[in-house]
Structure 1
Amino acid sequence: MTSPCIDYYYSVRSSFTYLGSARLNALARRCDVRINHHPIDLGVVVSSFHDYPNQQPLDRPYAGARIYESSPTREAYTQKEYRRWSQRLGIPMNVDPSHHYGPRELPSGSVIVAQRRGLDVDALSHAILQALWRDDRDIASEAVMADLLLSVGIQDDAVAFCKEAVSESVQLEFRQNSQDALAAGVFGSPSYLFKGELFFGQDRLDFLEEWMVQSLQSDEA
């Protein structure tokens, strides 16, 4: 029998994914369940839904740019929400990092490579999110990625690792993840799927845990 896992669909540049990352890792450890990482292109996923009928997507010179223009009022409120959650959870956060929008290929591919190689993908994924949202580092930089690999104990050759991360094979999986997310009913980041039940948002982790405990206990009965 295949061991149950959490299918984790998320953008490596998502603010609320960062706020839930460490707690998701802790939840998986408590329940002894593996996390199956599916980094996605959030632009592909969000633009597949028609939640913005009066707006046209902005030109995106590279993956990772903002998808729709946001009003100053909405931007200000969003940053206020970041501060509230940061304080509530005790998680340091830069609410307006200069590197928020940028390429996703290298950081997303790095998660995929770590998972393929059986490395500590949970730690690397969190380190990438933390580097952006706590430390405002450029996660599309190979030099930054090399530092992050070492920070989580990954000793693999960083140059070769980064080269593989942007290879066609890995990027094909990255693109496929977005299609798989849509097929699973995902419309935002982070989204967690466990035994057929989808949970959207880091503020739904408690519901995810309740469902996991219930499901795992039923399996043992």
Structure 2
Amino acid sequence: MPATLEYYLVPNSPWTWLGHQRVRDIARAAGARLEPLPFDLGGRVFPVSGGLPLAKRAPQRQAYRLLELRRFSQHLGLPMNLQPRFFPVNGDAATRLIVAVQLNDGDERALDLAGALMQAVWVQERDIADAATLAALLAEQGLPAARLDDAQAAAVAQRIDANTERALARGVFGAPSYVLDGELFWGQDRLDFVARQLGV
């Protein structure tokens, strides 16, 4: 039976963007199932794990974050606007949309959309809190416009709640986080360890 790699993500995280395609490639190379688990990081996980929104972090931490983002962007050859026009941005609507696509179209299409949403923030400087932007991204991905309405369904909110509870149970405190065989890996810079554990 193929391994399952749990992937805890939020669509407005630069670190999730930096690791998104790599974790997909690693899972594919290993023949593992990559399970997208969009969750409520800022509203429910940060308050119980000691995390702070970016604006509330010490100036030294904020400055170093930009340095590290630049380093990793250059190292990985991934384009990134370090201070995009629409950031900070509320990712709740985008999170619901990813889950609506997952429930209706499957994990792979949800992962495609998640990547497009992150690229919209960090490369294209688009506002993923804006309904028109979300509609355009659905169209660009060849997904039904109806998913915007589907994102308001109770089942979507329930799935996000369940994902968040699962994240808390796993000890997740940031994004991206990956869990393999019950072991937590935090951050895209830990993907080499994930790959090693998967044997690729």
TM-score (norm. length: structure 2): 0.90
Q: What is the DSSP-based 3-state SS (H/G/I as helix, E as strand, rest coil) of the residue aligned with 2:174?
A: coil
Q: What is the DSSP-based 3-state SS (H/G/I as helix, E as strand, rest coil) of the residue aligned with 1:48?
A: helix
Which position in structure 2 is the counterpart of 1:31?
30
**Cα distance 1:68–1:176, how it changes in 2: closer, same or farther (>3 A)?**
farther
2:149 maps to 1:189: no
Alignment check: 8 A CA contact 1:35 1:122 kept: no
| Matched ranges for 1:66-77 at <5 A | 66=53, 69-77=56-64
Q: Which has the higher helix share?
A: 2
Which position in structure 2 is the counterpart of 1:45?
45
Deviation at 1:47, TM superposition (A): 1.5
2:116 maps to 1:127: yes
What is the rounded CA distance, in whole Å, between the counterparts of 1:106 and 1:176 in structure 2? 17
Deviation at 1:82, TM superposition (A): 0.8
Which position in structure 2 is the counterpart of 1:63?
none
Q: What is the DSSP-based 3-state SS (H/G/I as helix, E as strand, rest coil) of the residue aligned with 2:34?
A: strand
Deviation at 1:50, TM superposition (A): 3.7
Paired residues, what number?
197
Deviation at 1:188, TM superposition (A): 0.8
From 58, 80, 92, the counterpart of 1:93: 80
What is the rounded CA distance, in whole Å, between the counterparts of 2:114 and 2:50 in structure 1? 29
Output one character per residue of 1:142-201: Cα deviation in whole Å (capped at 9) or x when no partner: 2212222232332x2x1x211111323212221232121010111111001112221111
Alignment check: 8 A CA contact 2:8 2:39 kept: yes
Higher relative contact order (CA 8 A, sep 6+): 2
Alignment check: 8 A CA contact 1:191 1:201 kept: yes
AA in 1 matched with 2:117: I
Which position in structure 2 is the counterpart of 1:137?
126
What is the rounded CA distance, in whole Å, between the counterparts of 2:110 and 2:10 in structure 1? 15
What is the rounded CA distance, in whole Å, between the counterparts of 2:33 and 2:132 in structure 1? 29
Deviating 4+ runs (over 4 angstroms)? none
What is the rounded CA distance, in whole Å, between the counterparts of 1:195 and 1:179 in structure 2? 18
**Cα distance 1:166–1:105, how it changes in 2: closer, same or farther (>3 A)?**
farther
What is the rounded CA distance, in whole Å, between the counterparts of 1:140 and 1:165 in structure 2? 13
Alignment check: 8 A CA contact 1:190 1:202 kept: yes
Q: What is the DSSP-based 3-state SS (H/G/I as helix, E as strand, rest coil) of the residue aligned with 2:56?
A: coil
Q: What is the DSSP-based 3-state SS (H/G/I as helix, E as strand, rest coil) of the residue aligned with 1:174?
A: helix
Which position in structure 1 is the counterpart of 2:148?
162
What is the rounded CA distance, in whole Å, between the counterparts of 1:110 and 1:179 in structure 2? 19
Which position in structure 1 is the counterpart of 2:5?
6
2:104 maps to 1:117: yes
Question: Whose radius of gyration is greater, 1 or 2?
Answer: 1
Alignment check: 8 A CA contact 2:12 2:90 kept: no
Q: What is the DSSP-based 3-state SS (H/G/I as helix, E as strand, rest coil) of the residue aligned with 1:166?
A: coil
From 124, 138, 156, the counterpart of 1:149: 138
Alignment check: 8 A CA contact 1:37 1:111 kept: no
Identity, % of aligned positions = 37
TM-score (norm. length: structure 1): 0.82
Deviation at 1:68, TM superposition (A): 5.8
Q: What is the DSSP-based 3-state SS (H/G/I as helix, E as strand, rest coil) of the residue aligned with 1:173?
A: helix
Q: Unaligned regions of 5+ residues in structure 2, if any?
A: none
Q: What is the DSSP-based 3-state SS (H/G/I as helix, E as strand, rest coil) of the residue aligned with 1:97?
A: coil
Which position in structure 2 is the counterpart of 1:60?
none
